[in-house]
A and B are shown apart, each in its own frame.
Chain A
Amino acid sequence: MKYVIRRVLICIPVLFGLTLIVFSMLHLIPGDPAQVILAQSGARPEAVARLREQLGLDLPLHEQYLRYLNDLLHGDLGRSLFTHRPVTEIIAQSAPSTLELAFAAMALAIILGLTLGILAAVYQDSWIDNAAMSLAVIGVSMPSFWLALLLIFAFSLGLEWLPSGGQGTPKHLILPTLVLGFNSAAVISRLVRSSMLEVLRQEYVTTARAKGLKEQAVFIRHALRNALVPVVTVAGLQFGFLLGGTVVTETVFARQGLGRVAVDAIIYKDLSVVQGIVLLIAVIYMVVNLLVDICYSLLDPRIRYQ
């Protein structure tokens, strides 16, 4: 419990740091941000002045940051510079689609990664091991956007089994989940394999075998549980990777999620939206890592945090 409290407390300065970085984004633009943002629309001086006021750029820097923090604490992430809709509203509309995709891909990555990793370890140096690890090598090397195009070509345009884009039904989720989860499944399977092989060499596994336990019991009760400890950490990191991966996947499959909204916002220089989404994703990532650390200590009681 002490560890959990301390771990949560550590998150507070990180959270402040995140807000500081996201706040600074606007001020790191080379030149006057208002002028840069309005450059495409042939900015008139009045428009630039109005935008400066809207963004609070006419205030001293520390006041701008305090105002930003105050707004954040009140759930106000500002307004889109183009649609003038509140950023929280835009996020609330697009986040469920992204989270649905990220969780589905995470589930696929864990199931597929564990299965391939365990099979490869159990049948070490056999054709099963070779096939599973070849698939894993392809998984970590294949660009997700190319895999997406190949799957669309095969299952949407060729066989016409699945839709090539859009959202709303479980069918719409299948291809994006496969694309997003494949890379993480590859990473997890490689780790599960090496972790299992490492654990299978331990003396307690030899003891378990010596006392007459069936191989299945040795694998599941003794090897797998211990092999899962590093996997949990990597699975947590992979969740962050999956959130990042939604940017490409949502764009290819035309899903209105956070990633696609972020890309559109960058193209139109809608910085309030970019800031809101980047901050939200970082906070989700931080919370997931916190949960992973807590799971880590539950899975392996030997771990004593300093």
Chain B
Amino acid sequence: MSAHSHLKTPATANVRRIESPTRLALRRLQRKKAAMLSLSVLSILIAVSILAPFLAPYDPLEMGTGGSFSAPDPAHPFGTDLFGRDILSRTIFGAQISLAVGFSAVLFASVLGVTLGLIAGYAGGWLDMIIMRAMDMLLAFPGIFLALGIVALLGPDLRNAVLAVGISHIPTYTRTVRGCVLSAKENLYVDAARVTGCGTLRIVTLHILPNVFAPVIILATLGVAWAILNISALSFLGLGVQPPTPEWGLMLSEGRGYLRQAWWATTFPGLAIMITVMAVNRFGDGLRDAFDPRLKV
């Protein structure tokens, strides 16, 4: 009774509600100008990619909308390519493809990577050993070479490029999530959940998974930039998206033989990749600094 009345003293009643770490991090993020600016750029890019059919002045695949390699003019602000296709329209539709493949590769890598990391970290023992050694093997291949190997097996096309880039990114998620799970499962509330009779699936999804959200979101954001760069590199090499799809890497590849005649054929898709990757990277940096200031680079 006395303890109960003690709780109702005015001093404790006035204590401010403690904000959750996520809310605090988001508040820190809002104060970061570069991250907020990048988020705006990213939002515009996403809007452009969704509204591409309404924004693009021409069909991106339509040939002869102007002459071959027409310089930028009011009718074709970004000029035209070898086949007279409008580069502005192709760049706008390219946003749709680049963002879609970037997000798809990251979604694939994160779902698989997080699942494997949860299993390895929570189950431990031989399952942990097998999963982590498999991840070590994947990490032993430097970046794009693993993707190249996978494309070599499955053949060059858009879906396989996404798969290849996604697979090569799985170990990053698995290692990070496993580390988080190892520390999260030592928490008292996990023990409490266990003694109250919670099943493994419930403990993992309700009590452990929330601990890995922040690092996974940060990794995934930075991963989108990485995936966009890698998939456009594969397309540039002729091992990713195939013609006539308006993909930025492929557009650069198609224009590279005509640098002297048509600087615009490579400049605009190149700028588009750089702006997108820069926006994603800066936003990812901001997220990381906001969620874990110790990791600030």
Query: Contact residues of A with B, CB < 8 Å?
Result: 13-14, 17-18, 20-22, 25, 28-30, 137-138, 140-146, 149-150, 152-153, 157, 190-191, 193-194, 240-241, 243-245, 247-248, 251-252, 262-263, 265-267, 269, 271, 274, 277-278, 281-282, 285-286
Contact = CB atoms under 8 A, between A and B. Distances in A.
B150 to A, nearest CB: 9
A266 B240 CA distance: 12
A149 B264 CA distance: 12
18 contacts: A21-B141, A137-B282, A143-B229, A143-B249, A145-B233, A145-B252, A146-B274, A150-B270, A240-B142, A247-B148, A247-B233, A247-B237, A263-B148, A263-B239, A266-B152, A274-B152, A278-B148, A281-B141
A14 B237 contact: no
B294 to A, nearest CB: 10
Nearest to A278: B149
A17 B137 contact: yes
Contact of B277 (A143, A193, A274, A282): A143
Contacts of B148: 247, 262-263, 266, 274, 278
B237 A248 contact: yes
Interface stretch (B16-24, B190-198, B203-211, B255-263): B255-263
A117 B247 CA distance: 35
B236 interface: yes
Given A143-B249, A286-B140, 16 more contacts: A14-B137, A17-B134, A18-B140, A29-B153, A143-B270, A143-B273, A145-B233, A145-B236, A262-B148, A263-B148, A263-B239, A266-B148, A267-B156, A278-B148, A282-B141, A285-B142
Size bracket of the B interface:
35 or more
Contacts of B140: 14, 17-18, 282, 285-286
A234 B111 CA distance: 27
Interface in B152-166: 152-154, 156
B277 A141 contact: yes
Contact of B142 (A146, A241, A248): A241
Nearest to A239: B142
Contacts of A143: 229, 232-233, 236, 249, 252, 270, 273-274, 277
A263 B142 contact: no
B252 A149 contact: yes
B141 A285 contact: yes
The 6 A-B pairs with the shortest beta carbon distances in the complex, nearest first, are A240-B142, A146-B270, A141-B278, A17-B137, A244-B144, A244-B143
A278 B156 CA distance: 17
A119 to B, nearest CB: 16
Interface in B78-106: none
Contacts of B143: 240-241, 244
Contacts of A13: 133
Contacts of B151: 266
Interface of B: 133-134, 136-138, 140-146, 148-149, 151-154, 156, 225, 229, 232-233, 236-239, 249, 252-253, 256, 259-260, 263, 266, 269-270, 273-274, 277-278, 281-282, 296-297
A262 B151 CA distance: 11
Given A17-B137, A265-B152, A145 B142 contact: no
Contacts of A150: 270
What is the interface of chain B mostly: helix, strand, loop, or mixed?
Answer: helix
A187 B210 CA distance: 30
B204 to A, nearest CB: 27
B252 A146 contact: yes
B125 to A, nearest CB: 18
Given A17-B133, A241-B142, A263-B148, A146 B266 contact: yes
Nearest to A29: B153
Find the residue from A13, A14, A22, A146 having the highest chain B CB count within 10 A.
A146
Contact of B237 (A25, A141, A263, A274): A263
Given A30-B154, A149-B256, A141 B137 contact: no
A153 B266 CA distance: 11
Nearest to B233: A248
B120 to A, nearest CB: 16
Contacts of A251: 237
Contacts of B260: 153, 157
A248 B145 contact: no
Given A17-B133, A153-B259, A141 B141 contact: no
Contacts of B281: 137, 140-141
Contact of B152 (A17, A25, A152): A25
B282 to A, nearest CB: 7
Given A190-B297, A285-B142, A271 B152 contact: yes
